[in-house]
Amino acid sequence: MAARRAVVRWAWRLFRREWRQQLLVLVLLTLAVAVASGGTAALYSTAPIEDGALGHAQQRIDLGGKAPTEPGAGAGAGNPSSAETIASAEATFGTVEVIGLSTVAVPGSVTRVELRAQDPDGPYGAPMLAVLAGRYPRAADELAVTEDVADLLDVTIGDTVELGDARWTVVGHVENPADLDDRFALVPPSRIEQAERISLLVDADPEQIDAFIRGIPGGVAVGDRGEDTATTAAVVTLGMSTVVLLLVCLIAAAGFVVVAQRRLRQLGMLAAIGATEKHVRLVMVANGVVVGVVAAVVGTALGLGSWIVLAGHVEEAIGHRVDPGDLPWWLVAAGMVLAVLTATAAAWWPARTVARIPVVQALSARPPRPRPAHRMLVLAVVLVVAGFAGLATGIDSSDGSARPVLVVGGVLATVLGMLLLSPATVSLLPVVARRLPLAPRLALRDLGRNQARSGAAVAAISLGLGIAVSVVVIASAADATSRQDAGPGNLADDQLVLSIGNPRYVVPERTAAEVERMGSRVDELAGTLGDAAVVPLDSAI
């Protein structure tokens, strides 16, 4: 242990003395870690979220029937009252948050405004409401408006406005932090009983939902929270960063080869005084660990700092507020560990080669004689062919499905094959250089003499170009498919689809009066577009 500690301390002194020679490797690793950490934070925070419609709840139940206060929609008409429905929901689900929704016309405009009756202190709706100025409404004649509604009505805090045959006093500006495109006017929770329809936020299992909606006549739409797309996006970013770090690892390996050759005489002296191959190898490996730790710390700080600065400027584009501190820290830590492993792996192979050089040859500072590369040529060709075969069989182009084991195995086999194939390719350069002028002939022969450095660089460039070409080909194929004129679901440039309600939910059943009312609203919208033709579409309930 004492010998190992002494070797590590000596490696640290060498790193401090020769940090300029390792600056390129350090900068590349730092930038790769910065992109990985910043990209992971950005994709995690900017991924679409469902809190704007669900809050903290897992399900949202939209009841399409009228409240009993509406004409012809009372309990005698076959619909249970709002109080009975809410009581039934509380008995079934336990904790329930009720939201009352009404739509009123804006005087002098075809635009309508949603009046939303919601408790700001509800058990699930906290992510759906935030005060920008003023306060939440408390009295029966008070409301708070979003920025778009305030511009539409041309009102500020303290003004009065007429909406829905009532006069309201504007007491605040609010927003839906999880959906900045949400336009509504917030009214007190006491207005829930006068709402046209209600929505219930609950946490329940499918059996409870089915049992509840069977007892509710009329249209019922149920929305469930989907998968965690934010974490998935962050994991995909980390996977892409792994590929980038692999390219950096290949370049770093060439850099560590140069460092090892510069230290060859020093390492030979260390071996002459009794150091074993493990001790000599530990010098270079410890150097790689130090480079990886420095790059991981500096790169993570740079990436997260850049994201914190840019977070406030992307909120309008992504449609929801961003908390820069709400990050998957385990993914950030995984990126840092991956950077350290990358630098360590890049230093290990040169360390292994240098440790096997005889002491006398190392003291003379003569680099080892390159071994013939054709020994690994057969294995490289087999790996490349197996990699392409795995990718071809692992991805089904007909339905877009993939077999993860074959895809991952194909990628790894292709990468290893190209890495082993690069030295063989470099060894052929002096043969090609015979018929070239003097300058390129010298350059190619120098590359052939330094196969260890050149092979890693060629492999990195080949992988980089391969990834770029693959992305372009896949994107072009997807764009060509999406632009095909034939096929269901495609629209021309002069066509528009207008969805009634939230398209994420099941299509609710509508009464004849509701269908007629919505049809008149669609005709009004078509009139504003220059008397556009309206084609009604049927949907399964």
Give the per-residue SS3 of 441-498: HHHHHHHHHCHHHHHHHHHHHHHHHHHHHHHHHHHHHHHHHHCCCCCCCCCCCCCCCC
Is residue 150 pLDDT above 70, yes or no? yes
Beta pairing class for 130-134 and 167-175? antiparallel
Instruction: Report the pLDDT averaged over residues 413-432.
Output: 70
Is residue 98 pLDDT above 60, yes or no? yes
Is residue 54 pLDDT above 80, yes or no? yes
Is residue 185 pLDDT above 80, yes or no? yes
Q: Which residue has the tokens 């016309």?
A: 105
Torsion of CA 469, 345, 407, 33, to 10 degrees: -60
Is residue 76 pLDDT above 80, yes or no? no
pLDDT of residue 312: 80
Is residue 470 pLDDT above 70, yes or no? no
Distance from C-alpha of 193 to C-alpha of 149, rounded to nearest angstrom: 23
Instruction: Report the pLDDT averaged over residues 515-528.
Output: 80
Neighbours of 272 (CB within 10 A): 12
Is residue 67 pLDDT above 60, yes or no? no
Closest CA to 134 of 151, 150, 154: 150
Radius of gyration of the chain (CA): 33
Q: Percent of the chain beyond pLDDT 90?
A: 11
pTM: 0.63
* Amino acid code (one letter) for 498: L
Both tokens of 126, joined, read: 């906290």
**CB-CB contact of 348 with 288 (8 Å):** yes
Helix (H) or strand (E) holding 324: none
| Residue 478's pLDDT band (cuts 50, 70, 90) | very low
Instruction: Report the pLDDT averaged over residues 248-276.
Output: 74
**DSSP structural state of residue 77:** G
| Residue 383's pLDDT band (cuts 50, 70, 90) | confident
Neighbours of 437 (CB within 10 A): 8
* Amino acid code (one letter) for 270: L
Is residue 209 pLDDT above 80, yes or no? yes
Q: φ, ψ for residue 103 (rounded to 5)? A: -120, 125
Helices (H), 483-539: 512-528
**CB-CB contact of 460 with 251 (8 Å):** yes
